[in-house]
Amino acid sequence: MAEVKVSCDEARHLLKQMMQIRQFEDKIMDLLAQDIVQGGSHLYAGEEAVAVGAISAIRPDDYIASTHRGHGHCIAKGGRLPELMAEILGKATGVCKGKGGSLHLADVATGNLGANGIVGGGMGIATGAGLSIKMRKSDQVVLCFFGDGALNLGIFHECLNMAAVWKLPVVYICENNHYGMSVSVKRACAVGDLTKRALAYDMPAESVDGMDVLAVKEAVSKWVGQAREGNGPSFLVCHTYRYYGHSRSDPRVYRTREEEEEWRARDPIKTFSIRCVQEGILSQEEVEALDREVASEIEEAVKFAVESPWPEPEELYEDVYA
Amino acid sequence: MREITYRQAINEALAEEMERDPRVFIMGEDVAIYGGAYGVTRGLYERFGEERVRDTAISEAAIVGAGLGAAITGMRPIVEIMYVDFMGLCMDQLSNQVAKIRYMFGGKTKVPLVVRTEGGAGRTLGAHHSQNLEAWFIHIPGLKVVMPSTPYDAKGLLKSSIREDNPIVFIEHKMLYNTKGLVPGEEYTLPLGVADIKREGEDVTVIAYSRMLLFALEAAQELAKEGISLEVVDPRTLLPLDIETIVGSIRKTNRVIIVEEDCKTGGTGAEIGMQIVENAFDYLDAPVVRLAGADVPMPKSPVLEELAIPSKDRIVTAVKEMLAGGSSL
Ligand SMILES: Cc1ncc(C[n+]2csc(CCOP(=O)(O)OP(=O)(O)O)c2C)c(N)n1
Ligand SMILES: [Mg+2]
């Protein structure tokens, strides 16, 4: 692992966001069990370093497009925890007025083009945002997140090709957590090295340790820089792991407990905290204080969400058309 | 007869048909090791092996397209699209290839393909996992569209669908998987295109399918206490539609309400209603009434989701208004 080349403030920011995501997701798991969150939720626990590392490499006016596992991206892009939690409960105060829920979570004001219930559903949106940036002659960029599962949909190929031909400022970030629901990437993809997928579009590609927030940040910074300079899109594969099952009812028969333990041993929050403390960037007390601070933020978010009203019946017909 | 769930009934139909005909196989996302997102194919991978119960990548267009290719070259595939909401990703394959190939080839090929999928609201999953898109499919000549409401119907109709030489879109409902019903232990099949009168009555005919059938039966039970008698007709197959049975019922009751979970505009009820007008206008004492899903994307919030689809109470109210000669809805 490389030396930690970050300031104390930045380390605190990265760590805090990862803790926010982890605690947010752990809390939702509790709320699902109590039926306070209904329906379902795909949780991002274990993958925090990807969203946080990548999004820390862009500006607030840049865009992201997210996935069905989108809470982490939304938080990292600056979404406010109470409104996000309220949305996941389907409350009127939710960031999408309770109409989107977990699968469609998006704080649009933060440049988030949305979670998506359709695998690969964000890829066209991200590509089009890249086109818009180019046509508006802006220097913004787009980070397009998607899972390994999306690699085998037509839209993936169509978008990468379009972005490459038109040199659009999009960084395509594959969150390779090694499974699309129960199907391992080995059983779903013909290539072992996923970066090879970019070869067909003559797009630069790179693999990175998705459990290492700084490694992700460094790689994304580089490709974002290229995109801002007009050098077009790139393809980044972040190797990571989702801790929970695909969804609440998943008994995880397709993977072993040993494999889960191996990945948990590389936990992005634990390893980054340890590195920060070892290198004297943060003290152990600061790390613990941060953890407590986040815990109380999450409690507040849940309180806000639970106490918020349900949408009024009239809301059903609002927002269908502009 | 045994009491089994809708899920088990479908699972049995799959297993029995795979046992009966080695050309039958299953492919789809998470159908093998996982046993299907709603557990419908559980145990089949263990029993029939990975050749015949195939997990695919997330590639809906290829799943349906390859299903067609296999179907016209000697196999009898059952492909699964996890949620009907994802049919958009394979709609070209279904509409331009699967449905039309036989006709375009002058009848010289057969398409023994079943596309099993699942739809409906009720789990507060929002706009991409709660839709009712059957009207898309009934608009495509060449397809047959089946939407069973009970375990008995699900098993018998799926077995017939698998034996059909035409492409079938077989749409299950996520809120029905745990419902139970009587199903014979012995082999049986049910014909496609034949409606079933689920409850006989005199005053109003209620046409309902899939989950809405259950709501209609609940409403019938409640209204019976007030001396109002509903005849509940379940078309079971939307394409072809058994209009004769529907007309027969209307000749008796002279009134009809259609209950559908899909969006009202351009929905299945519009087609059924118009066929009623064409075939039974003279028997009607009141305008045809539709109780349908709201014309909105399905909202996440549980309180809005409930308002977006018909309910037992809305059926009860509509029946009373109709009998009182009151305003339509
Ligand atoms: C087009 C489409 N097909 C199937 C699904 C059902 N589904 C939801 S998430 C998922 C797995 C996605 O895997 P991946 O892209 O690797 O993301 P991960 O869940 O691992 O984060 C599947 C099959 C869907 N939502 N959309
Ligand atoms: Mg994955």
CB contacts < 8 A, A to B, total 133
- Whether residue B295 and residue A320 make contact (CB cut-off 8 A), yes or no, is yes
Contacts of B307 in chain A (CB under 8 A): 313, 316
Which pTM does this prediction carry? Answer: 0.97
By CB atoms closer than 10 A (0-12, 13-18, 19+), residue B9 is buried
**Closest-CA distance of chain A to residue B260, Å:** 18
**Fold agreement (B2-183, B196-323):** yes
> Tell me, what's the pLDDT at B329?
47
Question: Is there a domain that residue A119 lies in?
Answer: yes
Ligand 2 centroid vs B46 CA: distance in angstroms? 24
Q: Using one digit for the tens of pLDDT, what is the confidence trace for B120-170?
A: 999 999 999 999 999 999 999 999 999 999 999 999 999 999 999 999 999
Please indicate whether, in this complex, the C-beta atoms of A181 and B30 are within 8 angstroms of each other: yes
Query: Could you identify the residue written with the tokens 């309220």?
Result: A86
**Ligand 1 neighbour A118 (Cβ under 6 A):** yes
Q: Which residues in A lie closer than 8 A to residue B127 (C-beta atoms)? A: 99-100, 104, 117
Q: Would strands B256-263 and B289-293 be described as parallel, antiparallel, or unpaired? A: parallel
Round to whole Å and give the CA distance between B36 and B245: 35
Q: Which two tokens stand for residue A168?
A: 């659009």
Give the per-residue pLDDT at A3: 66
Domain with A160 in it: what CATH number?
3.40.50.970
| Domains of chain B by residue range | 2-183, 196-323
- Tell me, yes or no, whether A226 lies in a domain: yes
Averaged pLDDT score across all residues of chain A: 97
A321 belongs to a structural domain: no
pLDDT score recorded for residue A5: 81
B124 to chain A: closest CA residue = A39
pLDDT for res B83? 98
Tell me which residues of B are annotated as active site. Answer: 60, 129
**Three-class SS of residue B258?**
strand
Q: Is A257 helix (H, G, I), strand (E, B) or coil?
A: helix
Q: Which residues contact A271 (CB under 8 A, 6 or more apart)?
A: A1, A211, A212
Nearest chain B residue to A156, by CA: B59
Q: What is the ipTM score, two decimals? A: 0.97
Q: If you take atom 19 of ligand 1, which residue's CA is the nearest one?
A: A180
Q: A228: CA distance to ligand 1 center in Å?
A: 30
Which residues lie closer than 8 Å to B221 by C-beta, 6 or more apart? none
Residue A82: domain span: 8-304
A319 part of a folded domain: no
- The one-letter code for the residue type at B265 is T
Fold of B196-323: Rossmann fold (3.40.50)
Q: How many domains does chain A have?
A: 1
* Topology of domain B2-183, CATH: Rossmann fold (3.40.50)
> Quick check: A4 pLDDT over 70?
no
- Per-residue pLDDT band for A40 (boundaries 50, 70, 90) equals confident
Cβ neighbours for B13, distance < 8 A, ≥ 6 positions apart:
B154, B155, B156, B158, B159, B162
When pLDDT is averaged across residues B233-255 and rounded to a whole number, the result is 98
Q: Is A86 in the pocket of ligand 1 (CB under 6 A)?
A: no
* Segment A203-213 mean pLDDT: 98
Percent of chain B with pLDDT over 90: 98
Instruction: Locate the chain A residue with the closest alpha carbon to B88.
Output: A118
* Residues B264-310 pLDDT 10s: 999 999 999 999 999 999 999 999 999 999 999 999 999 999 999 99
A1 confidence band (pLDDT: 50, 70, 90): low
Residue A249, pLDDT score? 81
Mean pLDDT of chain B: 97
Are B232 and B217 spatial neighbours (Cβ–Cβ below 8 Å)? yes
pLDDT of residue B25: 98
Ligand 1 pocket test, pick from B58, B79, B80, B125 with the greatest ligand atom count within 8 Å of Cβ, gives B58
Nearest CA in chain B to A157: B59
pLDDT tier, B328 (very low <50, low <70, confident <90, very high otherwise)? very low
Residue A38: partners with Cβ closer than 8 Å, 6 or more residues away: A89, A90, B123, B124, B302
Q: Is B311 on the interface with A (CB under 8 A)?
A: no
With respect to residue A314, please indicate whether it lies within any of the assigned structural domains: no
Q: What's the confidence (pLDDT) of residue B325?
A: 86
Output the CA B201–ligand 1 centroid distance in Å: 46
Per-residue model confidence as pLDDT tens digits over A109-128: 999 999 999 999 999 999 99
Per residue in B68-80, pLDDT tens? 999 999 999 999 9
Residue type, A224: V
What is the token pair recorded at B54?
Answer: 């195939």
**Mean pLDDT of the region B186-197:** 98
| A315:B295 CB<8 A | no
Q: Which residues 58-97 of B have a C-beta within 8 angstroms of A?
A: 58-61, 85-86, 88-89
CB contact under 8 A, A40 and B123: yes
DSSP letter string over A148-211?
GGGGGSHHHHHHHHHHHHTT--EEEEEEE-SEETTEEHHHH-S-SSGGGGGGGGT--EEEEETT
CB-based contact A101 B123, cutoff 8 Å = no
Report the C-alpha dihedral over residues A149, A155, A159, A165, rounded to 10 degrees. 120
Cβ burial A266-282 (10 Å sphere, 16+ → b, else e)? bbbbebbbebbeeeebb
pLDDT at B326 over 80: no
Q: Is A242 helix (H, G, I), strand (E, B) or coil?
A: coil
For residues A18 and A13, what is the distance between their CA atoms, to the nearest angstrom? 9
Region A250-260: mean pLDDT is: 95
What are the pLDDT digits (tens) for B80-102? 999 999 999 999 999 999 999 99
Beta strand A183-184 pairing with A179-180: antiparallel
Q: Residue A223 half-sphere exposure, CB side, CA atoms within 13 Å?
A: 28
